[in-house]
Amino acid sequence: MKKIAFLFPGQGSQSVGMGADIYEKYDGVRAFFEMADTLTGLPVSQLCFEGPMKALTETVNLQPAVTAVNLAFLGLIREAGIVPDISAGHSLGEYSALCAAGVISPEDTLRLVFRRGELMHREATKHKGAMAAIIGLDIDAVRELVAQVAPEGVVAVANHNAEKQIVITGAPDPVSKVSELARDRRGKAIPLRVSGAWHSPLIRGAGEEFGQCLETIAFHAPESRVIQNVTADFGSSPDEIRSLMARQLCSPVRWYDTVRRLMAEGTEVFAEIGPGKVLSGLARKILPQDYPCTLYNINDLKSLERFVNEMKAA
């Protein structure tokens, strides 16, 4: 069997209608979404299948919605007998990765992301924030610009998504200043449509309460390996993983290093499980053209069936 990595998307991958076709076909998926609705007290199913997009995109709704879709597809893949050698998730998606590895249950995964969304939304309403994608400069150059502007206000690296695709986060003026400096160095700076400065010190006020929430959840030893956002390395003990998830809220997402680590581990199948194609697109940018692997997007019934059939035939 080829070495398989399960990759789980986070905020930014959502679309109205996500998960609807598997909901219609599988009784287990319908039961799972009913559980998600009941557990969160939100109309998760309606938001996923009908929108509207404005409501779906609100982080308090979005985090449980995207996670529910991720886990619904994961459940069907598990039923087919396909398990990962390694899992990883981008920011919010890391919770789905932990579930895939057996570290936390599906129910507790939804509890955590629901509370995470509530706390992040609360902090975003207190502290106006902004984010921007810097294209064409490497991580050292972006860090240098961030350090130059940081004395003027809160600004930080949020995501290192690809070698020269880095997201910055913080207060609007410092983010704008770093963006200007990046353009001066012939980079591109694209403002992102977000409701808060995610992965920045501006949402640090959520940290203590979320840490307390994490302490109420049972974390188990991983059944398969998980690469953590904070370290781009494997988490081991339940206590270590819980601690890293507390830090993840305000730490950079080291996605470029994560994909490079998957390559170093000899991963042959990269399966993005959940809505959109963001992570497979980033993998194509990061992996060398001659690196032998197959990339999958499992985001609808047709792609699910293709993946299952090809994995069983391998």
Could you give the residue numbers annotated as active site? 91, 199
Residue type at 84? P
- Measured torsion, CA atoms of residues 117, 48, 275, 258, in degrees rounded to the nearest 10: 10
Count of CB atoms situated within 10 Å of the CB of 296: 20
3-state percent breakdown (helix, strand, coil) of the chain, nearest 5: 55, 15, 30
Would you state the structure tokens that stand for residue 143, as one six-digit string? 């860090």
CA distance 98 to 234: 11
Count of CB atoms situated within 10 Å of the CB of 31: 11
- Burial (0-12, 13-18, 19+ Cβ within 10 Å), 173: middle
Residues 6+ apart with CB under 8 A from 169: 129, 130, 131, 155, 156, 157, 158, 175, 197, 198, 199, 200, 202
CA distance 221 to 223: 6
